[in-house]
Structure 1
Amino acid sequence: MKVLDTFAGAGGFSLGFYLTGQYDIIGAIEYDQWAADTFKFNHPESTVIVGDIQQYSEEFLLETFKDKPDIILGGPPCQGFSIANRKAGDPADPRNSLFKEFVRLGKIFEPKIMIMENVPNLIKARTHDKELVIDIIIKELENLGYYVYHTILSATDYGVPQIRKRLVVIASKVKLDNPFPEPTHSIESKPITLFNSALQQTPTLWDAISDLPQIEAREGAEEMNYEIPAKNSFQKYLRGHSDKVYNHVAMKHSKRMVERFASMSCGNSISDVPDHLKPFKRNGNGEFSEKLFDQNNRRMYPDRPCHTIAASFYANFVHPFKNRNFTPREGARIQTFPDWYVFQGKPTVVSHKLLQREGREEEKHLCQYNQIGNAVPPFLAKAIAENILSQLTIKQDEKCLFTETI
């Protein structure tokens, strides 16, 4: 089945479909050049268009993707801003956001399945008129002739070594009996399902990254050799056919930052460090900052799943044993990207707010950390993809059986 990935980022969502071996990733639409470069590098056969989806006409899209997709994936922003400006209507209403572009693609291509993912909090969000945003999303997709299902999935239930939840909305032209995958993993030590068949143990953070080259702050390279063999099935699977480690570059921390991290135990964050190692105020002539973010630079426990890898994870977490933040590759492992999936663009960039302030918006790109943190974990996407395939196969078999009976 043919898949088109929209609002694609680096391509984590469609990568999960690719990993099943049952889907053909025909293309992607992505606004950011570096993220699109990553997609194209890893899917050289796919057609990748880079730019604002609102600017593409129906004729252009049909011409570009002549092989009409059976499945359209996307994580369109559903809230928070209006397409033209805030005067154009309620910014909390998805009909005023890029979600309407996702709906437009459904009208143009009429795929069998459309799958959308977003933040779990969207389930509670309301417009100014107190209408639930999720209800509007469902209504808009039903108007296209789809059966619509939604739920919140936990990544740890599908072998992702990270506490991460996503809202998933599935729109299908045929009625699905079980639209969402059953859990395959559990973070419990001896998990038992309702039917008493044991689930697999969700890998821990250390299960995910312990075989990567052990580098200190300011070390590493965009391409390195493995130093030791894979230690477990998770590592073996993610190494795949790769004979190199890519994007394993540590942050260039100052000596003081390294000392600060050295003072922290697992579970500690920046607010727990001794006073003399606390961050200074910006332009504060050596005064300590009173503004300490508890989530910043927390040292992770090795024997648990990691906290959610966000777009800014270069400043969120400290390695369980090294006095540095995670590298992009460590983040990619925690997100379940295979080692052969190489991220393009720079590892980090100047703050987007600063670029905006200084009128340097042409330099605004999604760096490797952003691309990784923004992605749908491929293992979560793979579970969705496998379940969709089995559901559609069941429906096809039922149809054949019904035809034969007649």
Structure 2
Amino acid sequence: MFKYIDLFAGAGGLSEGFIRENFMPIAHVEKDKYACETLKTRLAFHYLKKISNLESYYDYLRKKITRAELHNLIPQTLLQSVICSEISDNSFADIVTKIDKQEIDVIVGGPPCQAYSIVGRARVRDEDKKNNDPRRFLYKQYIKFLEVYKPKLFVFENVPGILSAKDTDSELFIKKMKTEFEEVGYTIDFELLDASNFGVLQKRKRVIIIGWQSALNLRYPDFSIGTIDNSTFEVKRDILDDLPNISQGESWNKFTYRTTPTAYLNSFGIRTEEDVLTWHIARPTNSNDRQIYKLVIEKWFREHKRLHYKDLPEDLKTQKNQNVFNNRFSVVEGDLPFAHTVVAHIEQDGHYYIYPDINQLRSITVREAARIQSFPDNYFFEGTRSAAFRQIGNAVAPIFARVVAIKIKEMLWQINSNQYLLKNIESDLLQDTY
């Protein structure tokens, strides 16, 4: 079984893809306390599934047992493998002492993307503050882990903006990173990939950097093999319609579904017969916003166009600056094969993710956001509603993560195959010598 460490793990979306492909997590490192609790809960799910005791996990989701009681059902070493710490020069040595020292096949992770994202950079007008944002240099911490554990491969995930972000000397960060990875013995290559091409019902472009020890005879995998045609899917019909209709500010606490799961939910493992429904909670909205929601929904389904803020009736406008974020009110594309990208800003408000139904004037629930991100219904997010939204918005879509894991597994098999052939050749040479 291949072993990996997940850095900047978040809620574990990337890790989920690797676990589904039978990789063994040795450690998850994450600074957000709620995300760390989510990781522990997910590890509990996988452990209890392995020992055929998922009923205890579902008892936890139904609030029949406490989190402490859930944790008592799994090995404490598993809980300790989640290291809740910021990765920095000050914490690095302590983090390493907490990770069981053994052979690691892969390191995966994606440092916080806000410093690289085009939108994030645009929001920071102070050039000195922008250039000295410490998050821009977290890849150097990633490199330190490579030097300690020397994995055969690594996966570094980030936003498209990392390809255009520049250092203070106007050198592209991606070029700088490539040089520094090579200096510690790794060759890298990268590609801009869209999760919607791999079964995720969301337009979500991400740069996937893959590195391997330079001595290995490898090349970047072909992601064009394994793409999925999403054209027959519809977001609302295939991943939202089985959920109960609720109003703004309402929480669904019955743990039940409205209808049976769709073929999409079944085939992609998002909902199973055993699942209980959690986090189907809608934000409250005021009457002014609900009037805007109604206009936005009507325009989308009538014309397939966005209603810009500047075009709203004057009596509904509450923002002074009407030229910034004109698309702040957007409906989820329920009648298309994919929704627009779910981002961490969803923790602030839901105006950019209006539910696609004129009869439900609300933003999407936590569970609906999780589904758009391809998280299974048995994935439970710890913390407040805002914390859950933030974890989902920052995550790698698990279905896409599994595709990455499959490609990494193929590369590891190739390494093992090459090493086996080399060993046999060396053995034959020795026999010929003697």
Give the TM-score taking structure 1 as reference length: 0.81
How does 1:206-217 map onto structure 2 within 5 Å?
Answer: 206-217=237-248
What letter is aligned with 2:395?
A
Specify the SS of the correspondent of 1:224: coil
Distance in 1 (alpha carbons) for counterparts of 2:104 and 2:329: 42
Q: Secondary structure at the match of 1:73?
A: strand
Q: How far is the alpha carbon of 1:320 from its aligned partner? A: 1.0
> How far, CA to CA, are the matches of 2:365 and 2:243 in structure 1?
10
Deviations 1:171-227 (A, max 9, x none): 1123323435335345574xxxxxxxxxxx566453222212222212223662112
Are 2:199 and 2:229, in contact at CA under 8 Å, matched by a contact in 1?
no
Task: Name the CA shift for 1:274/1:181 in 2 (closer, same or farther; >3 Å).
Answer: closer
Cα-to-partner distance string for 1:3-53 (whole Å, 9 max, x where unaligned): 211111111111111122x21122211111111111111113351111222
Deviations 1:278-331 (Å, cap 9, x if unpaired)? 2324xxxxxx77466323221233121100101123231211113111111111
1:358-384, Cα deviation, whole Å (9 max, x unpaired) = xxxxxxxxx111110111111111101
Deviation at 1:259, TM superposition (A): 2.6
- Is residue 329 of structure 2 the alignment partner of residue 297 of structure 1? yes
- Which residue pairs with 1:192 in the alignment? none
1:2-401 matches, cutoff 5 A: 2-20=3-21, 22-44=22-44, 45-46=78-79, 47-54=81-88, 55-58=90-93, 60-77=95-112, 80=115, 91=132, 97-173=137-213, 174-186=216-228, 189=231, 204-221=235-252, 224-235=255-266, 237-240=269-272, 242-264=274-296, 265=298, 266=300, 267-269=305-307, 271=309, 274-275=312-313, 278-281=316-319, 290=322, 293-304=325-336, 305-313=338-346, 314-321=350-357, 322-348=360-386, 367-401=387-421
Instruction: Give the Cα–Cα distance (whole angstroms) in 1 for the partners of residues 389 and 105 of structure 2.
Output: 31
**Greater strand fraction, Structure 1 or Structure 2:** 1
Aligned mates of 1:203, 1:308 — CA distance in 2: 15
User: What is the letter of the counterpart of residue 269 of structure 1?
Assistant: L
Contact 1:3 1:69 in 2 (8 A): yes
Partner amino acid for 1:214? N
Change (3 A) 1:340 1:89: closer
The alpha-carbon deviation at position 89 of structure 1 amounts to 11
Query: How big is each residue's C-alpha offset from its partner over 1:349-406, in whole Å with a ceiling of 9 and x where there is no partner?
Result: xxxxxxxxxxxxxxxxxx1111101111111111010011112213322332343354
Number of equivalences: 365
**In 2 relative to 1, CA 19–279 (structure 1 residues): closer, same or farther, beyond 3 Å?**
farther
1:256–1:49: structure 2 CA closer, same or farther, 3 Å change rule? Answer: same
TM-score when normalising by structure 2: 0.76
- Aligned-partner SS, 1:117: strand
Structure 2: tracts of 5 or more residues without a match: 45-77, 117-126, 429-434
Aligned to 1:196: none
Cα pair 1:69 1:111 within 8 Å, conserved? yes
Give the distance between the partners of 2:93 and 2:27, measured in 1 at CA: 16
Residue identity matched to 1:370: R
Q: What one-letter code is carried by the residue in structure 2 that aligns with 1:385?
A: A
Q: Using a 3 Å threshold, how does the CA distance of structure 1 residues 228 and 318 change in structure 2: closer, same or farther?
A: same
1:254 offset after TM fit, Å? 1.8
Contact 2:154 2:212 in 1 (8 A): yes
1:260 alignment partner AA: I
CA spacing shift, 1:203–1:148, aligned 2, 3 Å: farther
d(CA) in 2 for partners of 1:70, 1:335: 27
- The Cα RMSD (Å) is 2.8
Q: Sequence identity of aligned pairs in percent? A: 28
Name the structure where helix makes up a greater proportion of residues. 2
Decide whether aligned partners of structure 1 residues 263 and 39 sit closer, same or farther in structure 2, where only a CA change above 3 A counts: same
